[in-house]
Amino acid sequence: MRVCSLLATLLFLPAVLAESNWPEFRGPSGDGHATDSTLPNKIDQSVVKWKTPIHGKGWSSPVVWGNQIWLTTATVDGTKMSVLCLDRETGNVIHDRVLVENETPAFCHPMNSYATPTPVIEQGRVYVHFGTYLTACLDTETGKEIWSRTDLECDHHRGPASSPILHNGKLYVAYDGFDVQYVVAFDARDGSTVWKRERKINYGTDNGDRMKAYCTAQVIEVNGEEQLVYPSASATIAYDPDKGTPLWTVYHAGMNASARPVFQDGLVFITNGSGAMIAVRPDGKGDVTGTHIVWSDQKGVAKKSSQLLVDSLFYMNSDDGIVSCREPSSGEIVWQKRVAKEFAASPIFADGKIYFFGTGGEVVTIRPGREFKLLEESKLGDGFMASPAVVGSDLILRSKSDLYLIGN
């Protein structure tokens, strides 16, 4: 009986591993939730299973499919842009390929990197994006290129940061630059353009620095129909994912939008990159600014990181180290606490706990609820700009210089 039980367990392991995936920025649902995970409360050196140095500088988050972890990096000066694949069990590097070489790369702000957009992965394929420098699909077994595009142009001005998302065979990418702003849907099979739409936003200025954005989209369903919600500077536009037709637009000011929207109970929550946010009903048509904004606020709002919705409460970590909890229906603040010096990475919800990761290496674990319940405070590595991934009982963290696998 023991032999049969052992064989059954061994046969079942590959299926379990195959289901343990974190395919894009903020996970399977794009909301920072990890289901069926078991993680330690305290994240420090004592729970590190392995640590692998990552060369160069890159803020892209790790993505995971089965036993592979993929991420991008670049030289600090942007002359080389690379993709790496690591073995999830050992941390050993499987692939390390330079995909782009630039003699004279465009300017990138020191707060940003030349490898900030997070890849997207599915069975057999990983999609990498370096802004206008390259969008490519690679074979996950060999690391070789399946298709690539280098013909889409814009002046990122301070470096690209928008992460692509994959939905129903299309790869969606925003090019919100200093000079031009548009969204593209690629056919994931061959990289051809399915549709391309100019933003057509009234930015209220001719200053290109106020027009660029670093947003990642979210696909939601409203009244049985899908919407591709794509924030930008000054406004957010929802598109028909299949045709690219604009459905509604909401103006919310701000620039450099980078947070991924979240959707719950008939409200889309959007931050504008300048320290303000709105909750908007996505059931309108055309310009819904004057009719569908339910609430807005500027207190303690994150400029860089995305937010969490857990058990009908809204959580975020602001740039200045403050963690807050709000009522999603009204925006009313339930509590606020300063727990770190600075945040850039997005928080995650896993194993019934919320984890926050500071730019100085702080890791704060709390229990969600209407009272602030601190579980652990610790420190690991040299600071976190990238957001984490969770697969099963593994927490994958990218610090400024290393990749960690954490487990009980």
Map out the domains of the chain as residue ranges. Answer: 36-55+305-408
pTM here is 0.94
- Cα gap 147→151, rounded to integer Å: 13
Within the chain, which residues score under 70 in pLDDT? 1-19
Three-state DSSP string of the chain: CHHHHHHHHHHHHHHHHHHCCECCCCCCCCCCEECCCCCCCCCCHHHEEEEEECCCECCCCCEEECCEEEEEEECCCCCEEEEEEEECCCCCEEEEEEEEECCCCCCCCCCCCCCCCCCEEECCEEEEEECECCEEEEECCCCCEEEEECCCCCCCCCCCCCCCEEECCEEEEEEECCCCEEEEEEECCCCCEEEEEECCCCCCCCCHHHCCCCCCCEEEEECCEEEEEEECCCEEEEECCCCCCEEEEEECCCCCCCCCCEEECCEEEEECCCCCEEEECCCCCEECCCCCEEEEECCCCCCCCCCEEECCEEEEECCCCEEEEECCCCCCEEEEEECCCCECCCCEEECCEEEEEECCCEEEEEECCCCCEEEEEEECCCCCCCCCEEECCEEEEECCCEEEEECC
Q: What is the per-residue pLDDT for 275? A: 85
What top-level class would CATH report for the domain 36-55+305-408? mainly beta
Pair of tokens at residue 159? 């470096």
pLDDT of residue 2: 39
